[in-house]
Structure 1
Amino acid sequence: MATPVKVYGPPLSTAVSRVLCCLLEKHVHFELINIDMAKGEHKSPDYLKIQPFGQVPAFQDESITLFESRAICRYISEKYASQGNIKLYGTNPLEKASIEQWIEAESQSFNPPSGVLVFQLAFAPRMNIKQDEGLIKQNKEKLSKVLDVYDKRLGESRYLAGDDFSLADLSHLPNTHYLVNGTDVKELLMSRENVGRWWEEISSRESWKKVVEMQNSSLPKKP
C-alpha cells in the first residue's frame, strides 16, 4: 500500500475539513495529525517548516509539502485524477475552467462574508468572545447578494459548474455546514429554493458525512 498522505490540523477547521472531503472523494489514503492550536502547536518551529504562516492545514505527500486548502485540493484532484470521483476537477479544459471560476467565486465572494459569520455566530460563543452585531448584519447583507447569484445559477444547472459535483461545490461545504447547523443564517440559504436543494444534495454525500463524523468525534466529551 502506498504511503498515506498527511494532513495536519483539527477537523473542526473549515480549511482542514475541505481537504479531508477532497481526499475522501478521491479515495486517497491519508493520516490526520491533529494540531492543538490552543497549545500553540501551529507556531512550533517544526510545524513552521511545513506551514510557514503557522496556520492549518499543512499537507505532506512524501517529500512534497503544501499549504492553502484549495491548492491542496487541486493537487489531490490532479495527482489522483483516475481514481475516486473522476469528475471532481473536470476532464477537459472547459470543465476545469467552469470549476475554477466557481472556486474563485467561493474564495473571493462567498468565503469573506460567510467566514465572518461562521466566526461570529459559531465560534465566538464557544470561545467566550463578544459578538459584533454590526459586523454580523453587514455580512448577512453581503452574503444574501452572493446567494441571489447562486440561486439563479443553480436554477440553470444541478451543481455550480454543471451537471456533476465538483471542487466548486465541495469548497462551499465547510462554511455552509456551520451556518446551516445552529445559526439563523440557515434561513438565508434554505429560503432560496435552488440553493436549498443544492445544499441538501451536496451535504448528503458520503465523503462529507464522514468529515462531519470526524468533527463530532473530535469535540470534547461532555461530563
Structure 2
Amino acid sequence: MAGIKVFGNAASISTRRVLLALHEKNLDFELVNVELKDGEHKKEPFLSRNPFGKVPAFEDGDLKLFESRAITQYIAHRYEGQGTNLLPADYKNPAHYAIMAIGLEVEAHQFDPVASKLAWEQVFKNFYGLTTDKAVVAEEEAKLAKVLDVYEARLKEFKYLAGETFTLTDLHHIPVIQYLLGTPTKKLFTERPRVNEWVAEITKRPASQKILQ
C-alpha cells in the first residue's frame, strides 16, 4: 500500500494545518508540491484530487481526502495510538467531544476568516507584489479583537481552548498565528495575557517549529 501523500504548498495555511497533524503524530509522509503561483491547483491533475481547486489534497493508501480540517480529524482518529493525542482525553464521552467540536467550529467560522484575511493583506500580498490595504487591516483587526476577547475569557478557565489538553482545536489555529506574529497584528495576541500564554505554548511545540523550517 502506498504511503501518506499531501498535495499542497508548504507556505499554505491549510496545507500547514495537515502537516502539523502529521508531525504531531510522528508519521512519515511525502509532500508533493503544488505551485500556487502557476495555478497548478486550478487544473488537472490536481482537480481530480480536489474538484474545488484548493490545497491540500491527501492520500493515505487508497483513501483520498480534501479539506484540511477533515484531513486532520481523520489523522487524529486513524492514528489515535501514535504520537500526540489530538482528541480530548475522554473523546468517547459525547460531551467532551462536543466541546472540542465547538472549538473547531469557532476556529473555522469566527477566527480563521478574519485571521486569514489579515495574513493575506500583510504577508501573502507581498508574495504577489500587491499593496496592503490598511483600511481592511484596521477593520479585520477590530473583528479579530472581539474573537480574542472570547478566547481570553475561555483561557482563564482552561489551559487550552477545548480543556486542559492540546487538541485539534488548538492545532488548527497555529499556522495563521505563526504568520500574524510577524506582523503588527501580533499586538492583539500579546496584549491579552492568557491568549499570549496560549500562543506561546502552542507555537513552541516541536511540530510547530518543524513547519517553520
TM-score under structure 1 length normalisation: 0.91
**Correspondence list, 1:1-223, <5 A:** 3-86=2-85, 88-90=86-88, 91-92=91-92, 93-181=94-182, 183-213=183-213
Shift of 1:175: 0.8
Structure 1 alignment gaps of length 5 or more: 214-223
Q: CA offsets, 1:175-198, max 9 Å, x none? A: 1111012x1000110110000000
Q: Note the aligned Cα RMSD (angstroms).
A: 1.2
Shift of 1:60: 0.8
Aligned to 1:15, what secondary structure does the other structure show? helix
Q: Which amino acid aligns with 2:186?
A: K
Identity %: 39
Q: Structure 1 segments of 4 or more deviating over 3 A?
A: none
Shift of 1:11: 1.1
Q: Distance in 2 between matches of 1:107 and 1:75?
A: 17
Aligned to 1:105, what secondary structure does the other structure show? helix
Q: CA offsets, 1:16-45, max 9 Å, x none? A: 000000011112221100111122221232
Structure 2 alignment gaps of length 5 or more: none
Shift of 1:46: 1.4
Q: Which amino acid aligns with 2:71?
A: I
TM-score under structure 2 length normalisation: 0.95
How many residues are aligned here? Answer: 210
